[in-house]
Structure 1
C-alpha cells in the first residue's frame, strides 16, 4: 500500500435487527467514489441471516471473529480489507453524496485520518453539527467530545490504527480512537454535513452502567481529560447524570460536586441533580437535548 492508494474498504458492523436501515446504509456507501470493498460484520448474530438482509447488494458479510461487541466487529472488518484506506459506517447511519470524495481530497493533501460534519436526525428533525475548523486537535477532543467526529465519519490509512477492544461495553471506542489519532497529528475535517446520524437508533441510549464504565475507562486511558477544566467538568457531569439515571443519588451528588468544582457554569451538574432528586426523568432531558442535536 502506498500513500497515494485511495481505494476505500468500508466496515459496517450490525447486530442484524434493523435490516431496512442496513440496506440504506449500504446503498449510501455504494453511491460514493473510491469504494472498492464493503464488509458487513455480523456481531452476535447469524452471518447468513444478515447476508439475506443485503441480498443482491455487492457486499461481503462476515461474522465477528474477534471479541464480541462493536470494537471487535470493527477490527474484524479492518483486517478483512485489502484497500489503501478504511472507513466506518454504522448500520443506522447514511453517508450523503460527496462524503468520500471530500475526505479523500484531504488524504491526498497529506492527512492520514479524516472526519467530516454530520446532521443529527431525531424525532423527525435534522440538525447539522459541524466542527467550525478544517482540523481537529487532541486538545479539541479533550475540551469537547466533538460529536461530529463520529465513527461513521472516520476514514484512515489501513493498518495505521486499530480500535481498542478493551472498551467496556464498546463505550467510547470511537472517542478513544479519534483522540489517539489526533495525538499523532490533527484530524482533517471536511467541515460540512456529509453523514446523517440517527440518534434514535443508538444501542447505547439507556445503557447507563456501560456509560459509567466507558467514561471511567477514558479517564484512566487519557488522564489529560482531568487536566482541562471544561473537559473534566463535561465528563464528571456525564458521570453524575448517568448515576442519577440509575437512581444512585449519593454517587450523582458526588460527581455533581466534582463537576461544579471543575467548572461552576457546567450545565450538566444541575441537570444531574434534577434527575437525581426526581424533578425530571432522564429520558425527558435526553429527548429535549436530542431534538436540538445534542447529547448529555
Structure 2
C-alpha cells in the first residue's frame, strides 16, 4: 500500500460544521487531501485554509457553484496531475467514516476492481435503521441504476463514498459526466461503457444532525428520464455499435412482439365491447402469444445482460498491456 499514492477528494458545500472533523479523521494511508469549495456560501474553503494545519490538504475553489459531480471531477483532475494512484471521494458532512478508506482502496490495489462504492444495504440491521422514505427511494433508484448502468450486482447507487484508480479516470469523458446529484449513477453508466469492474463495499449507514441536500421525492422523478437515456445509450453502445450477439436480436424482437400483442389485444377488446361481439379463440391467441413470446425474449436478453457484468479490471488490462 505504501507504493500506492492515495488521495481523498472532499467536495465542500455547506459543510463548514463538519469538514474539519472529516479531515482530522484521515489516516496515514492518505497522501493528499483535496478540499473542493464549490462556491460554498459558508466559505468552507477559506475556513479550512485558516483552521486546518494538515500539510496534506490542498484547497481548490470554484468561482460559481457547479454541483457535487463537478467538484469531484475537479479533485480527480488535480490528483491525477499530482501523480496520485487512487482517489477516494468522501463527503464533508461527516456521514462517511474515513477509517473505512482502507477497505475501499484494497480491492483496487489488489487488482480486483477499478472502482469501489459503499453499500449501506448489506447489513439488515443497518437497513432497518434507515428512514423509510430514504429506504424506498434508494430501492427504486437502485433498480433503475441496474437497468441503465448494467451493473446488476450493485446496490445503493446514490452512495457517495467511492474510490477509483487514476488510470480509469484518464479514460472517462469527464466533461460529459453529470455535474450534480445524478453524478454517482452517471459515473456507473460511464464506467460500464469502459467495461470497468465495480465492487460494492459494505458499510454502516450513519445519520447525524446534518441536513441533506438530496431530496428523494424529487430525484426519483427527475432521474427517470436520465436513466432511460443512459439505458438506450448503453444498449446501443454495447449491443450494436461495439459488438453484436443473440441478445442484440432478442431485445428488439421481444419488444416489438410484446407491443404488437398488447395493441392488437386492446384494439380487439374495444371492438368487442363496442359491438357486443365475443372475441374468437384465434383472436385471443393472436393477442396473447406475441406478448408471451415477447416477454420471454426480453427476459432472455436481461439474463444475458446480467451475465456479462464486467469482471476484468480496466486498469489491470492497461498495466498488463504496457508490460508486453
Give CA-to-partner distance per residue, 1:200-251, whole Å, 9 cap, x none.
Answer: 632131783x6644431231122278999xxxxxxxxxxxxxxxxxxxxxxx
Q: 1:56 aligns with which of 42, 52, 57?
A: 52
Give CA-to-partner distance per residue, 1:24-79, whole Å, 9 cap, x none.
Answer: 33233x13x42111111111237965332461242221112698222211111111
Moved more, 213-222 or 75-84: 213-222
* 8 A contact 1:86–1:158 mirrored in 2: yes
Secondary structure, counterpart of 1:18 in structure 2 = coil
> Structure 2: any 5+ residue segments left out of the alignment?
121-125, 136-144, 237-250, 252-294, 296-324
For residues 213 and 182 of structure 1, the distance between their equivalents in structure 2, rounded to whole angstroms, comes to: 22
- CA drift of 1:9 comes to 1.0
- Mark the CA change 1:97 to 1:14 in structure 2 (over 3 Å): closer, same or farther: closer
- Mark the CA change 1:68 to 1:10 in structure 2 (over 3 Å): closer, same or farther: same
- CA drift of 1:165 comes to 5.2
**Higher relative helix content:** 2
* 8 A contact 1:114–1:188 mirrored in 2: yes
* 8 A contact 2:118–2:160 mirrored in 1: no
TM-score (norm 2): 0.52
Larger Rg: 2
TM-score (norm 1): 0.56
* 8 A contact 1:64–1:72 mirrored in 2: no
- Mark the CA change 1:10 to 1:168 in structure 2 (over 3 Å): closer, same or farther: closer
> In the alignment, which residue of structure 1 is the partner of 2:29?
34
> In the alignment, which residue of structure 1 is the partner of 2:92?
91
For residues 79 and 225 of structure 1, the distance between their equivalents in structure 2, rounded to whole angstroms, comes to: 25
Q: 1:153 aligns with which of 148, 161, 176?
A: 161
- Mark the CA change 1:207 to 1:18 in structure 2 (over 3 Å): closer, same or farther: farther
- Mark the CA change 1:51 to 1:144 in structure 2 (over 3 Å): closer, same or farther: farther
For residues 167 and 208 of structure 2, the distance between their equivalents in structure 1, rounded to whole angstroms, comes to: 28
How large is the Cα RMSD of the aligned pairs?
Answer: 4.3
For residues 177 and 217 of structure 2, the distance between their equivalents in structure 1, rounded to whole angstroms, comes to: 14
Secondary structure, counterpart of 2:203 in structure 1 = strand
> Structure 1: any 5+ residue segments left out of the alignment?
128-136, 229-262, 264-296
For residues 45 and 179 of structure 1, the distance between their equivalents in structure 2, rounded to whole angstroms, comes to: 28
> In the alignment, which residue of structure 2 is the partner of 1:105?
106
**Higher relative strand content:** 1
Moved more, 142-151 or 214-223: 142-151
Secondary structure, counterpart of 2:8 in structure 1 = strand
Q: How many residue pairs were aligned? A: 213
